[in-house]
Chain A
């Protein structure tokens, strides 16, 4: 009984820490949007946290951290429409990364790259429905490669973190 309470307190603390970190990264990113010419193009720093929770705490926590983070960020800085975009992208990328991790054949960087791309693809799928145009097809090309780049970046950082942090 005592042990269980201790464990759940530890888990709660870990979740809290990871979500707080993800929030900080989201906030940081929100401060530099004008940096990139295309809306939606971003560094995806929070992906580092998702990777960390995926590799260190399992797929359930990765999903939980990401969904909670998106909901919180949307309430804090964004709006409902931004939330729908983020959720679509975040869920798709998390699912893709979970599945790729399950195959146990890929490095963290590769998993992250696939996640970065699928994140942007998820957002574009929503955009196609929301804006009702196919005219954003060119947008897909740009975001495909930007997702690849940001996925690689966060993947490298995430892999280093996973390597250095103890497994718990």
Chain B
């Protein structure tokens, strides 16, 4: 019985090494990709201004601009400066949006609740900025 175990184990041990190497390479590659994604998704490229859920303005972060958004709910002034965005002025009662500071990373947002206004950083260059743009179910 022992003999059988020994015979069976020998080729197994020989075979383990390349497996370990390949799997480690695959895991490390995955981690490198993750790192790259984290680095490159750090900065966004666009600031989307949404009013009541609809995108009404899309500003590139590369050019400094100042935009005043006027809706029936009120007035907000969004400023793009040095690749970051902040709410310069707003006539909303609480003024929280003005205190939310600068945002420059993908996914960050400034929200002015009373005016139903949202500024979101994205890196999507397409017009189709629907969040569910990946809508194909792969079987």
Contacts and interface: CB of A to CB of B under 8 A. Distances in A.
Interface in A87-108: 89, 100, 105-107
B136 A81 contact: yes
Interface string A127-168: 100111101111111001100100000000000000000000
A109 B19 contact: yes
Contact of A133 (B26, B34, B125, B135): B125
B136 to A, nearest CB: 6
Contacts of A127: 134, 136
Given A137-B40, A137-B41, A141-B34, A77 B18 contact: no
Interface string A97-124: 0001000011101100110010000010
A142 to B, nearest CB: 9
Given A39-B137, A131-B134, A110 B19 contact: yes
B34 A136 contact: no
B134 A136 contact: yes
Contact of B26 (A81, A130, A148): A148
Interface in B1-39: 15-16, 18-19, 22-23, 26-27, 29-30, 33-34, 36-37
Nearest to B124: A135
B138 A123 contact: yes
A155 B33 CA distance: 24
Contacts of A107: 15-16, 19
Interface string A24-40: 00100110010000011
Q: How large is the interface on A (under 10, 10 to 19, 20 to 34, 35 or more residues)?
A: 35 or more
Contacts of A86: 138-139
B63 interface: no
Is chain A's interface secondary structure helix, strand, loop, or mixed overall? helix
B30 A148 contact: yes
Nearest to A140: B33
Interface string A4-32: 00000000000000000000001001100
Nearest to B132: A39
Contact of A105 (B18, B34, B40, B126): B18
Interface of B: 15-16, 18-19, 22-23, 26-27, 29-30, 33-34, 36-37, 40-41, 123-126, 133-139
13 contacts: A29-B139, A39-B135, A39-B137, A82-B136, A100-B22, A105-B18, A106-B19, A110-B19, A114-B26, A127-B136, A130-B136, A132-B126, A148-B30
The 4 closest A-B pairs by CB, nearest first: A110-B19, A144-B30, A105-B18, A141-B34
Given A77-B139, A106-B15, 8 more contacts: A42-B138, A85-B136, A106-B19, A106-B22, A110-B23, A137-B41, A145-B30, A148-B26
